[in-house]
Chains A and B, each alone.
Chain A
Amino acid sequence: MSPRELGAPLVREAPLLRDDTPVEEAVRALLDADLPALPVVNGAGKLLGLFGEREFIEALFPGYLKELGYAGFVPRSIESVIEKRQTCRLEPVSKHLNREHVEVDAEFSDVGLAEAFIHHRVLVVPVVDRGRVVGVVSRSDFFAAMGELFLDR
């Protein structure tokens, strides 16, 4: 098995979000693409970070929630949260994106990909070729391929 036999076929084309894309539009793009996160780029096409499920939850819920060690005692319903945070719809994704520097180059190895998922709390890893995002590999696709291979052996 070559060093990139498992991961290379998993690279998916993904729509790119611009940093000024409103959260509302970004959420729609996420649902349409059926991916847990999408790469966010600036006007020049440079990768800035990721906006995905976790970032949307953070945008939707009040900022102090991250500071609370535990919030199991808060009885609020999701409807009231959405009602209160309508303002986040029009906020740019740049305000909420995960700016952790996570990417692999076009010649990535399976071990390199695994390392990216182990060390970073990301659900997709962008694949970058000569400064341009050419696709993403999702953690669930990688797990599925790895799991099948593991059970076959």
Chain B
Amino acid sequence: MVLAIVIFAAALVVIATDKVHRTKVALVGAILVLVTQTIEQEQAIEAIDFNTIGLLAGMMLIVKLTEETGVYAYLGIRAAQISRGRPLAVVLALAVATAVLSAFLDNLTTILLMVPITFLLADTLDIDPIPLVIIEIIASNVGGTATLIGDPPNILIAGATGLSFMDFVANLAPVAAVTFVATTAVLYLFYRKRLQIAPDVRERLMEIDARRSIEDPAELRRAMPVLIGTILLFFVHKQLHVEPATVALAGATVLLLLTKTSVEKALAGIEWSTLFFFIALFVMVGALEEQGAIGKVADGIASVTDGNRTAELLGIAWTSAFASGIVDNIPFTATMIPVVEELRGPGDDAYWWCLALGACFGGNATIIGAAANVAAAGMAARAGQPISFWAFLRIGVPITILSMVIATGYIALRYL
């Protein structure tokens, strides 16, 4: 058991330092637990949740095949144009667009689509793009909390539990909506001086021809019904007795058939490094479970809380938020899932919602808290306007605390 813990802890530490790609680290960890026979190969393969992998791969394909049409750039530009260059309206438009897209794509993809457009809009309006990018990062993590497919921790939880898309919407969307309003308001007040837009430059926004961002209208007409149909299918997948992965992969397959994008190009849009990261992670967590380490952690928590449900629920939520700010929220959630499974009573799903809220909201604390944050920081650096660790931390920590206070109130009202 000690070996499994040491390998996993070492992998987490190296991932946190960001010196070596997280997928390389996780693969080394997975190979080590296999070579040392901390877990047998057959058990390791069983530990891989192919529902999660299938859902991720399917959504990546859908995003790649619809992104080619230019529809997301169109939505970003139109959202900003509706604001007519008024600062508060610009913030609201971009934040709402980011949150909604995050809920139905995923927060990392949304950030990759929205941030370049935001740089363009900020350049057009002669304002600092960084406050807008930070607002979008936070909106994407909060918006992604609302659905099963919005944020990787939720995808992991769904894969492990079989909870449906509607279960996630019913339990997480209300608190995500309230948190979105509160955090966006605070962020606007915090950054309002850096978001002053001169009245004479506001008209420039309207000069951008959003329609020209649609690169292939015919492709868009073929792809959009499939995208909308796939999202609608997520809402009823439980009634249809199909897993979310099946919905995503079916949508991706229909898009592959209907659109002009070649299979090779579409498959190149899959973030293979992310998929292998998840696979390696499942193997390492499988080794921890196999060796009884997860059971010991669960027993430890139970003895500290003395089996008190309130303490356990709030402890899971706040610990998850704190830990997700320091380490990547994906490995943290993967580790916590079997712990929560042991702690919770039969049919008590409140534990899962506390884990999801903590892991998703906690990702806002630091620039390394979630993959979306890291991607946004990378794009900002490449655009010559880096976001420093401290600049993000200064607003990320208060925003996370605010989110978790709202989440705590919600948990108390609904589950205690």
Q: Which residues of A contact B (CB under 8 A)?
A: 62-64, 66-75, 84
Contact = CB atoms under 8 A, between A and B. Distances in A.
B382 interface: yes
B382 A66 contact: yes
B119 A62 contact: yes
Interface in B213-258: 213, 215
B67 A69 contact: yes
Contacts of A72: 212-213, 215
Contacts of B77: 73
B119 A73 contact: no
A93 B54 CA distance: 45
Given A69-B70, A69-B73, A63 B210 contact: no
A72 B209 CA distance: 9
Nearest to A62: B123
- Report the interface size class on chain B: 20 to 34
B383 A74 contact: no
A64 B212 contact: no
B207 interface: yes
A67 B77 CA distance: 15
Interface in B49-84: 67, 70, 73, 77
Contacts of B170: none
A63 B382 contact: yes
B384 A68 contact: no
A72 B210 CA distance: 10
A67 B384 CA distance: 12
A67 B116 contact: yes
A63 B116 CA distance: 9
Contact of B384 (A63, A73, A74): A63
Interface string B81-108: 0000000000000000000000000000
Contact of A64 (B67, B210, B383): B383
> Which of B120, B129, B385 lies at the interface centre, i.e. has the most chain A CB atoms within 10 A of its CB?
B120
B166 interface: no
B169 to A, nearest CB: 31
A124 B215 CA distance: 33
A62 B383 contact: yes
A68 B209 contact: no
Contacts of A74: 120, 208
Nearest to B378: A67
A68 B119 CA distance: 10
Contacts of B384: 62-63
B270 interface: no
A53 to B, nearest CB: 20
A73 B212 contact: yes
B28 interface: no
A72 B212 CA distance: 7
A67 B119 contact: yes
Given A62-B123, A62-B383, A73-B77, A67 B209 contact: no
Contacts of B116: 64, 67-69
Contacts of B73: 68-70, 73
A89 B159 CA distance: 53
The 4 closest A-B pairs by CB, nearest first: A64-B119, A63-B383, A67-B116, A73-B212
Contacts of A63: 119, 382-385
> Which of A66, A67, A75 lies at the interface centre, i.e. has the most chain B CB atoms within 10 A of its CB?
A67
B397 interface: no
A70 B70 contact: yes
18 contacts: A62-B119, A63-B383, A63-B384, A64-B115, A64-B116, A64-B120, A64-B379, A67-B116, A68-B73, A68-B116, A69-B67, A69-B70, A70-B70, A70-B213, A73-B77, A73-B213, A74-B120, A75-B207
